[in-house]
Amino acid sequence: MPELPEVETTKASLAPLVGQTVQQVSIYQSSLRWPIPHDMSRLQGQTLQFLNRRAKYIVARFDQDALLMHLGMSGSFALLPASDARRKHDHLCIDFENIQLRYHDPRRFGSILWLHEPRAQSLLASLGVEPLDPTFNVDHLAAKLKNKQTAIKVAIMDNAVVVGVGNIYASEALFYTGIHPARPAASLTPDEIERLVLEIKRILGQAIQLGGSTLRDYVNGQGETGYFQQTLAVYGRAGQACIHCGAVVDSLRLGQRASAFCPACQPI
DNA sequence: CGAAACTCCTGAGCGC
DNA sequence: TGCGCTCAGGAGTTTC
């Protein structure tokens, strides 16, 4: 499932398209999270100006229109020769000058919208601060957690608090700060809040760097992608030994999400 | 109003 | 080998 580092890597992988003009647009399955706009063919003749990321959204700005795209849980983009056979779950193909962009998404939780649509605008309007931005700091997080009885893990995954912290990195950040995921958000001390902020920045920053190096490797024709290169301390390791103390990693459900933690390193 | 539950979807993994 | 089940999860929407 794409986390923020994967989205950043995806954006970078699309850079070869900047400056290229759309030749043709083909929709094979329009029912994603919301329908792909029926008038996507307006992109024909428009040149891709630049790509941006906001939270886990990628914005693709063309001459006249812009797209707001989200990979959901299983979405991915690929750049392929137009002659390559379409795979199952390739829902959208956009022909550029010398290559074809394909959106692939088995679970179809992703979305592709016009940026100017009211829906897209309201999605962007509800987003909180970027985790790597200086505005995400102790004061900000403390203010957001104040009086919040929700579990801290649910709180840091709330896009109104801070964007881009998914289940994997929320679990990892809480492990490395020794904070139990079910602790009421308001129960964290100022010191714990500061460590959590720094840890979120450290983990995401490192993952993005790894993703970047992965992308270079990929372009050179080798390598894996994304966080799979990173060693995950607790996520997906329930039942296994904690990498710090050897205790058995436990798991509980918070906000309908599996939440792995070390009962010894992260006491309640 | 905030918080919790529900929802979309397919593939992987499992027991039999 | 195949069936049916459960689980995985981002995040908007609905419900309480």
Quote the pTM value.
0.93
Rounded Cα–Cα distance for residues A65 and A46 (Å): 8
Q: Is A56 a catalytic residue?
A: yes
Q: What's residue A220's pLDDT? A: 43
CA of A106 to C1' of C3 (A): 22
Tens digits of per-residue pLDDT, A152-178? 999 999 999 999 999 999 999 999 999
The set of strand C positions with any atom below 7 Å of a protein CB reads 7-13
Percent of chain A with pLDDT over 90: 84
State which protein residues have CB closer than 7 Å to strand C: A 1, 3, 33, 55-56, 70, 72-74, 107, 109, 119, 122-123, 126, 157, 159, 163, 166-168, 235-236, 256-258
- Cα A120 to Cα A50, A54, A102, A115, A154, distances in angstroms: 18, 12, 21, 6, 24
| Higher per-residue pLDDT: A224 or A72 | A72
A213-216: Cβ within 8 A, 24+ apart: A214/A9, A215/A9, A215/A12, A215/A13
Query: Does strand B come within 7 Å of the CB of A107?
Result: yes
From A86, A108, A257, A263, active-site residue: A257
Rounded Cα–Cα distance for residues A68 and A37 (Å): 11
From A11, A56, A144, A183, active-site residue: A56
Q: Is A257 a catalytic residue?
A: yes
The number of beta carbons lying within 10 Å of the beta carbon of residue A106 is 14
CA of A256 to C1' of C6 (A): 14
Which of A 19-38 have CB under 7 A of nucleic chain B?
31, 33
Confidence of residue A3 (pLDDT cuts 50, 70, 90): confident
CA of A119 to C1' of C13 (A): 13
Tens digits of per-residue pLDDT, A19-44? 999 999 999 999 999 999 999 999 99
User: What is the pLDDT averaged over residues A15-22?
Assistant: 97
Closest nt to residue A106, judged CA to C1': B10
**Has residue A199 got a pLDDT over 50?**
yes
Confidence of residue A213 (pLDDT cuts 50, 70, 90): low
Confidence of residue A221 (pLDDT cuts 50, 70, 90): very low
Q: Classify A173 as helix, strand or coil.
A: helix
**Residue reference for tokens 């020794």:** A178
**Has residue A224 got a pLDDT over 70?**
no
Q: Are A100 and A109 a contacting pair, CB within 8 Å?
A: no
**Has residue A245 got a pLDDT over 50?**
yes
Confidence of residue A207 (pLDDT cuts 50, 70, 90): confident
Confidence of residue A268 (pLDDT cuts 50, 70, 90): confident
Rounded Cα–Cα distance for residues A258 and A95 (Å): 40
**Has residue A223 got a pLDDT over 50?**
no
Q: Classify A263 as helix, strand or coil.
A: coil
